[in-house]
Chain A
Amino acid sequence: MSGVRIETAGGLVKELVEAINANRTWLSEIDGAIGDGDHGINMSKGFTSAGAKLGDTPPPLPEALNVLSSTLMEDMGGSMGPLYGYLFSRMADALEGKSKLEADDFGAMLRGALEGVQEIGSASVGDKTLLDALAPASEAFDAALAAGKPFPQALDEMAVAAERGRDSTRDMVAKVGRSARLGERSRGVMDAGASSCCLILQTLANGIKTRLSE
């Protein structure tokens, strides 16, 4: 059975840190259009601090995800601290007792992430938040597996759905968070949270695919 060894996959979280740092300015630019312009800055600060805790030889994937989760929840604050904190901690929970990350497990990670975000936040799909990238990504992944597609292809379809979901926030009116004050004026711009969420999902997909082919 093809899967990724969880023991040695903690590096996936380091790749998330690198991806967020590489896109710090882009995320802030997106946020600047209808928010504070600090999304990239705060995400980068939180992820960098988690990266430092993980060190050069990160622990197994669930532990690494939990380090990221607790760092974001404890240190980052804002809305993104609790939201991403729950997201990553539920991803870690889905791997409990596993030694390999297989397609079904990744499906469970995405569903767990979705439930976690909905538990702590008050947003629904369509409110112009990170849920609008996460929910369709989770659905697309499950649908691909249900259709009998192999893990790598399901990851590709998940990544495409995340991006489509992110782009769909452009036409949405914000319902929660600070940009909700903008009402109709929030239309026409992508949501920063959906953008970072899409980036995170795509980075995970690429990292898993690379490890599957090794």
Chain B
Amino acid sequence: MNRIINNPDLVVEDAVRGYLKAHKDLVAPTDNPRVIRHHLAPQKGKVGVVTGGGSGHEPAFLGYVGDGMIDAVAIGEIFSSPSAKAFHDAFVAADGGRGVACLYGNYAGDNMNVKLAVKQAAAHGLTIKTVVANDDVPSAPKSEPQKRRGVAGEILMWKVGGARAAEGAELDEVIASAQKAIDSTRSIGVGLSACTIPAYGKPNFSIEDGMMEVGIGHHGEPGVKVMETRPAREMADLMLDHVLPDLPFESGDDLAVLVSGLGATPVMELYILYDRLSEVFAERGMKVRHPFIGNYFTSLEMMGVTLTIMRLDSELDRLVGAPARSVGLTKVAL
């Protein structure tokens, strides 16, 4: 392990401190060191939008706190759910009196901690509703959507929910739009190398040099197939073969497409992949309305890439296209 850290047990604490110092125009600390809020939150009269998750995925999750996005975020240990207390305190930080939408990913720990936090918040009068992202196609069969994990599709869910809340919508409307967003979104990851949690000091899984794992999870969960690394064009085709039939995406669809590096991937290579993706979309009569290419949702220093596709209706198109400003994602109104 060769990393830019101090104490490996305190990487989250150290990083959050730096983040707060760097982005004072967007975020502010709260009494809970594991909760960061929008610098204006809570905004009276606006539905609060909260997310949370393990660290090591930066800019997710804290990087999506911003204008037209997330109001408060709960921060966990590396690859580990935030505590119920952190989720609860994030709800409080985001609540402007019209309820809070908690938009998070489908993992056992997050489910338990959110459930506890919602219960605690309800006990003192807060209204919290949730949407659970489950966009990762290879994580479970289509027949078991409740077992599918949330991956980079969460970002588009936050974008949609955040934009809807910024429009002044009611809690139920924010929830309905965020649910529609994730229901219209599918993802897949390909891993080319493993990653190391600093406190553990060595990778907890391995991918041989020259091999790639198709369908890998955001924490190195095994995928559906390990094979020799193929040229980017073939990698793109392979990813599309898994994702497109699942929704299914069809000719005539308008799309938002998010290609994210997993931490160690040169950004240049994301564009090499996107060149082919874009070609296939055109061939199939699909139109990419909103492309997002970059490091949006990483897994420490994993080499690899995730592809996320959302089918847009006019509402989702409007909400994905709405202005937003955050460290992870900024959208300028056209």
Contact = CB atoms under 8 A, between A and B. Distances in A.
Interface of A: 28, 31-32, 35-38, 41-42, 45, 73-83, 120-122, 176-178, 180-182, 185
Contacts of B112: 79, 82-83, 120-121
Contact of B80 (A77, A120, A185): A77
Task: Enumerate the 5 nearest inter-chain pairs by beta-carbon distance, A residue then B residue, closest first.
Answer: A77-B83, A74-B85, A37-B200, A181-B221, A79-B109
B9 A41 contact: yes
B224 to A, nearest CB: 10
A79 B204 contact: no
B217 A77 contact: no
B9 to A, nearest CB: 7
23 contacts: A31-B204, A32-B202, A32-B204, A36-B197, A36-B200, A36-B204, A37-B200, A37-B204, A74-B85, A75-B83, A76-B83, A77-B76, A78-B81, A79-B81, A79-B109, A81-B81, A81-B113, A82-B84, A120-B115, A121-B108, A177-B108, A178-B107, A181-B139
Contact of A181 (B109, B197, B222): B222
B116 interface: yes
Contacts of A120: 112, 115-116
Interface in B203-237: 204, 217, 219, 221-222
Nearest to B196: A37
B199 A41 contact: yes
A50 to B, nearest CB: 13
A154 to B, nearest CB: 31
A52 to B, nearest CB: 15
A24 to B, nearest CB: 10
Contact of A77 (B9, B81, B111): B81
Interface residues of B, number: 33
B166 interface: no
Contact of B77 (A38, A73, A82): A38
Nearest to B112: A82
Contacts of A38: 77-80, 197, 199-200
Interface centre among A28, A38, A79, A81 (most CB of B within 10 A): A81
Contacts of A81: 81, 83-84, 109, 113
Contact of B9 (A31, A45, A121): A45
B108 A178 contact: yes
- Name the residue among B76, B113, B139 with the largest chain A CB count within 10 angstroms: B113
A42 B199 CA distance: 10
Contacts of B83: 73-77, 81
Interface of B: 9, 34, 76-86, 107-109, 111-113, 115-116, 139, 147, 149, 197, 199-200, 202, 204, 217, 219, 221-222
Contacts of B107: 178
A37 B116 CA distance: 25
A36 B78 CA distance: 9
Contacts of A32: 200, 202, 204
B250 to A, nearest CB: 29
Contact of B108 (A28, A73, A176): A176
B199 A185 contact: no
B132 to A, nearest CB: 13
A78 B84 contact: no
B197 A77 contact: no
Given A35-B204, A38-B200, A77 B113 contact: yes
B87 to A, nearest CB: 9
Contact of A122 (B34, B76, B108): B108
A26 to B, nearest CB: 13
A136 to B, nearest CB: 22
B176 to A, nearest CB: 26
Given A122-B108, A181-B217, A36 B80 contact: yes
B116 to A, nearest CB: 6
A73 B119 CA distance: 13
Contacts of B197: 36-38
Q: A45, A77, A121 — which one has the most chain B CB atoms within 10 A of its CB?
A: A77
Given A38-B80, A77-B82, A79-B109, 18 more contacts: A36-B80, A36-B197, A36-B204, A37-B204, A38-B78, A42-B80, A74-B83, A77-B76, A77-B81, A77-B84, A78-B77, A79-B81, A80-B109, A81-B83, A81-B84, A82-B112, A121-B112, A122-B108
A73 B162 CA distance: 28
Contacts of B217: 178, 181
A110 B205 CA distance: 35
Nearest to B84: A73
Contacts of A82: 84, 109, 112-113, 116
